[in-house]
Structure 1
């Protein structure tokens, strides 16, 4: 496995004072087609109970995955779902969505992620779409060598086993998986079809402690994946095809030109995004 670069997630806040770790790539240099990875991991309710009150998006896809705890998603399209441990939720915002994500009252700690995927410029103004896995459990592959892969988005193959997530129409041919490694566990994957492949370590460490929690490994295109952990660990695999297009970013809006960005602001201020009932 050839690692080109290692980026570290940095502590910050978002929403109503929610403490997170973030890797941002709004300059398009390292993460394309991904824009941002946020990790929320805390057993202290003060770190997350403010949640993410209603706010807009345009021009991106948001992908939420929970390992522990729960959120309630609501949006102006009428979707209202409780997303719990092991669930994913995908929102292709297109021309505009207003939504909120608030912690469930019974949540005893939270560990989850929100990942932003950029949309091709020609698709940024199409109607929004929503999908989650609450009624269709995500497929899991266990390889017998202390590794477990959960297919969060897209299709995955481990040796002769194939797992396809019900969320299989993400922008930029994106695919995501969560890998759990027992002490001494190992997972080997052949090179993926996508040009951009990254590994984010969220638990423990990999490669005999060489890479630790909070590290984002950017792999050489065409590299195989060889994940191992001496003492146990967990990691997300993110794959996608770079869009190689300009990025104009302001808060929750990501377009390709400044004119498009300013129009998004005007449309939101004029109430054209709708409201949550």
Structure 2
């Protein structure tokens, strides 16, 4: 076994998207090879409806998959194919845009006005760019949860983990998408396939992700002895951790425990031509998509 090195830790940055949705963007519209096959990750979270109620009105997608995971509140969605519905707390929607789709997503708060969810964009390989669009809507009750003896719990959204398989299937990047909670003070090592790009995104509590170049078992090992010295090593809310190559990651949970998404996928390693919600392989394909959008032939 080899520990994946932490090659970057950074905070998600405030951003406004759609018709005025205030969110935090962990990555997107930068170097697409950085976390290939993943292109963008947004954390949309607010308890003020004025910061999200106008939502994401009608907009196109082609050549990618969008993955929406709702933690609080709900998201109403509709598309140009006549599909419509709502995602509630704990639900996931994996939309394969393929050859093209127009859709809208409208967040709604819960009884307290709270809204919280994530959206991840995954690239499609060239031979699937123009595949027929499809949805996989997964209810919270259908997502398996596995709990280890030390209290660590993992929701398995896609991929195999601890003997469970997530309900989302048939995805090009063969991803693993996990929602992980490690209790306070627990140190946990989790397996990640060696050949996949991988990142973690902390959204509750804090934790120290061990680095392959640092001595193991040092951080917070004696009931937080030396805590003041090591607090700078802790990753807290809205922190992205990008890992190098290896087949496991280790995290030491802080005083309130830590909850994070652990996401990995097989790199596509193809050229990327990208304009907003349309991602193709060449500039010619991108120009064609924009022409079709403008002349009404975008939807196949």
Q: Say yes or no: TM over 0.5.
A: yes
Aligned to 1:72: 76
Segment of structure 1 superposing worse, 198-207 or 62-71: 198-207
For the pair 1:113 / 2:110, whether they are aligned, the reply is no
Paired residue secondary structure (2:118): strand
* 1:198-237 equivalence runs, <5 A: 198-207=199-208, 209=231, 210-231=234-255, 232-237=257-262
Instruction: Report Cα offsets for 1:57-92 as digits up to 9, x if no partner.
Output: 000000000111110111122221210111100111
TM-score (norm 1): 0.91
Q: Distance between the aligned counterparts of 2:140 and 2:260, measured in 1? A: 24
Gaps of 5+ in 1: none
Aligned to 1:128: 133
Alignment CA distance shift 1:212-1:135 (3 Å): closer
Given that 1:154 and 1:169 are in contact with CA atoms closer than 8 Å, whether structure 2 keeps it comes out as no
Q: Distance between the aligned counterparts of 2:8 and 2:167, measured in 1? A: 31
Q: Distance between the aligned counterparts of 1:145 and 1:24, measured in 2? A: 35
Given that 2:99 and 2:299 are in contact with CA atoms closer than 8 Å, whether structure 1 keeps it comes out as no
Given that 2:38 and 2:123 are in contact with CA atoms closer than 8 Å, whether structure 1 keeps it comes out as yes
Would you say how many aligned residue pairs link Structure 1 and Structure 2?
Answer: 271
Aligned to 1:104: 108
Aligned to 1:172: 173
Segment of structure 1 superposing worse, 79-88 or 209-218: 209-218
Q: Distance between the aligned counterparts of 2:24 and 2:195, measured in 1? A: 26
Paired residue secondary structure (1:171): coil
Segment of structure 1 superposing worse, 16-25 or 255-264: 16-25
For the pair 1:181 / 2:186, whether they are aligned, the reply is no
Aligned to 1:4: 7
For the pair 1:90 / 2:94, whether they are aligned, the reply is yes
Once superposed, what is the RMSD of the aligned Cα atoms?
A: 1.9
TM-score (norm 2): 0.85
Alignment CA distance shift 1:105-1:176 (3 Å): closer
Aligned to 2:58: 54
